[in-house]
């Protein structure tokens, strides 16, 4: 069964509000084994909402509309759905009583326009509201002789989620008449472009296209790495996992150490887990990144078990006086090594990571823009690496974070088991 999603609101088109509702709804539909192939946003215009909804119902068995159920003049979902149903809007006394009682219970004045929320397309069923004033709607629609359904839910996220879980998803499962789940496995990678990764994985992609299930998709995440997502549909999570496993193993065999994690892992969470597993602590010395690495590390719950702290040694004299970096070029591997050793000594950590580089707009110490020098002080050795990173200033700095953390990850994984 296919269920698509239509989000209502001019504010979504203007970028004033980010449409997180549609992505959440898509996730829930997948978890319930329901295909969702299209998500659309449309502004607060009756004719456009109606036209888009009619087009979506040509292909979809159901459409979930999110938003446009409020009391104001630009809340037009009810009118659009009624037009598509070929129905009139009729007052629902039970809904009107609930709305009136809600305002009375809060000792608040109720503007008369709030009763617009009690208007219901003739033939629609009500999804009772438990967290606000606007009820949801289940609206039967016939398109070219085929029975379909439109669900209308509020745009307020916590109201939408409660209605979807309580009423919409059970109704969809019942209509679909099939028990199925859609399961995804996302491999998180760093170190190769989307096109390069695509080319290396062509043999796997060819196999997947021949079988049709699972499927593979690439999701570029900027300085979060490249995601390779496998998705399978089956009658149970166990069966879906069995479909995914052989293809995941093939991808890992091809991509190798570029896979740093799965699903919700981040580079920083993986690094912290590796350090925690050895009982080691971490310190940072940052120049070019100005504290960005520490920000990523401390955003991970439980980071305090591993992370000692950091020094943002942005000025050269701070590197010299505080970290013991020798006088000379500060964008160099020797400087990065001294920064790492200095902060490890200063903060008493087992491991220290240091970053110095040139983000621009001009070169420094004879080094071009995009140069990153990383120092890594481990318990028994110190190593350094130089990277040439692309992009403008902010992009280069963000890419420096994950590049340095990836170096730390690879070195930790290469160490003998403790």
Q: What is the pLDDT of residues 220-235, one digit of tens each?
A: 877 788 999 999 989 8
Q: Provide the strand spans (E) within 108-266.
A: 119-121, 125-127, 136-143, 146-153, 181-189, 215-220, 226-234, 259-262
pLDDT band at 105 (very low <50, low <70, confident <90, very high): confident
Three-point CA angle 3, 5, 6, nearest 5°: 140
Lookup: tokens for 270 = 């993986």
Q: Is the pLDDT of residue 112 over 80?
A: no
Quote the pLDDT of residue 70.
85
Architecture label for domain 181-262: 2-Layer Sandwich (3.30)
Q: Bigger pLDDT: 112 or 39? A: 39
Q: Is the pLDDT of residue 381 over 80?
A: yes
Quote the pLDDT of residue 296.
97
pLDDT band at 297 (very low <50, low <70, confident <90, very high): very high
Quote the pLDDT of residue 133.
77
Write out pLDDT tens, residues 52-99: 999 999 999 999 999 999 888 889 999 999 999 999 999 888 888 888
Mean pLDDT (whole number) for 255-281: 96
Most confident option among 15-19, 213-217, 406-410: 406-410
Please choose, from the candidates 67, 86, 160, the residue with its C-alpha nearest in 3D space to the C-alpha of residue 124. Answer: 86
What are the extents of the domains in the chain?
3-176, 181-262, 267-414
Mean pLDDT (whole number) for 398-405: 96
Residue 367 per-residue DSSP state: B
Contact 219/226 with Cβ under 8 angstroms? yes
Write out pLDDT tens, residues 356-365: 999 999 888 8
pLDDT band at 126 (very low <50, low <70, confident <90, very high): very high
> Residue 348 — φ and ψ, nearest 5°?
65, 40
Which option is the CATH number for 267-414: 3.90.79.10, 3.90.950.20, 3.90.110.10, 3.40.1010.20?
A: 3.90.950.20
Quote the mean pLDDT of the chain: 93
Q: Is the pLDDT of residue 178 over 80?
A: no
Q: Is the pLDDT of residue 177 over 90?
A: no
Task: Please provide the CATH number assigned to the domain covering 3-176.
Answer: 3.40.980.10
Q: Bigger pLDDT: 113 or 184? A: 184
Quote the pLDDT of residue 182.
84
**Sign of torsion, CA 404 410 412 414?**
negative
Quote the pLDDT of residue 327.
93
């Amino acid at each position: 069964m296919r269920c698509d999603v239509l989000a209502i609101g001019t504010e979504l088109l203007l970028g004033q509000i980010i449409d997180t509702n549609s992505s959440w709804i898509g996730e829930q539909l997948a978890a319930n084994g329901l295909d969702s192939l299209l998500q659309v946003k449309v502004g607060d215009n009756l004719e456009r909402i109606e036209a888009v909804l009619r087009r979506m119902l040509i292909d979809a068995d159901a459409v979930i509309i999110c938003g446009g159920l409020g009391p104001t003049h630009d809340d037009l979902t009810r009118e659009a759905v009624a037009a598509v149903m070929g129905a009139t809007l009729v007052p629902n006394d039970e809904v009107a009583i609930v709305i009136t009682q809600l305002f009375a219970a809060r000792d608040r004045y109720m503007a008369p326009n709030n009763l617009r929320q009690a208007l219901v397309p003739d033939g629609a069923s009500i999804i009772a509201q438990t967290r606000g004033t606007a009820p949801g709607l289940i609206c039967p629609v016939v398109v070219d002789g085929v029975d379909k359904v439109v669900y209308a839910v509020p745009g307020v996220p916590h109201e939408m989620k409660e209605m979807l879980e309580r009423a919409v998803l059970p109704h969809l499962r019942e209509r679909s008449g099939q028990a199925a789940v859609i399961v995804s496995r996302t491999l998180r990678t760093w170190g190769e472009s989307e096109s390069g990764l695509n080319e290396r994985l062509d043999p796997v992609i060819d196999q997947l296209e021949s079988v049709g299930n699972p499927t593979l998709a690439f999701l570029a995440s900027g300085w979060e790495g490249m995601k390779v997502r496998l998705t399978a549909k089956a009658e149970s999570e166990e069966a879906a996992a069995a479909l995914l496993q052989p293809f995941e193993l093939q991808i890992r065999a091809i991509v190798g150490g570029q896979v740093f994690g799965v699903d919700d892992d981040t580079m920083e969470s993986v690094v912290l887990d590796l350090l925690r597993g050895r009982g080691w602590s971490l310190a940072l010395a940052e120049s070019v990144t100005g504290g960005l690495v520490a920000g990523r590390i401390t955003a991970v719950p439980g980071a305090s078990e591993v992370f000692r702290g950091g020094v943002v040694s942005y000025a050269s004299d701070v590197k010299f006086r505080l970290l013991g970096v020798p006088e000379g070029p500060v964008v160099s591997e020797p400087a990065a090594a001294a920064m790492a050793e200095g902060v490890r000594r200063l903060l008493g950590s087992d491991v220290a990571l240091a970053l110095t580089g040139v983000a621009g707009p001009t070169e420094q110490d004879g080094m071009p823009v995009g140069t990153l020098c990383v120092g890594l002080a481990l318990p028994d050795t110190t190593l350094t690496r130089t990277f040439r990173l692309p992009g403008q200033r902010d992009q280069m700095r963000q890419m420096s974070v994950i590049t340095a953390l990836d170096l730390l990850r690879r070195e930790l994984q290469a160490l003998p088991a403790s």
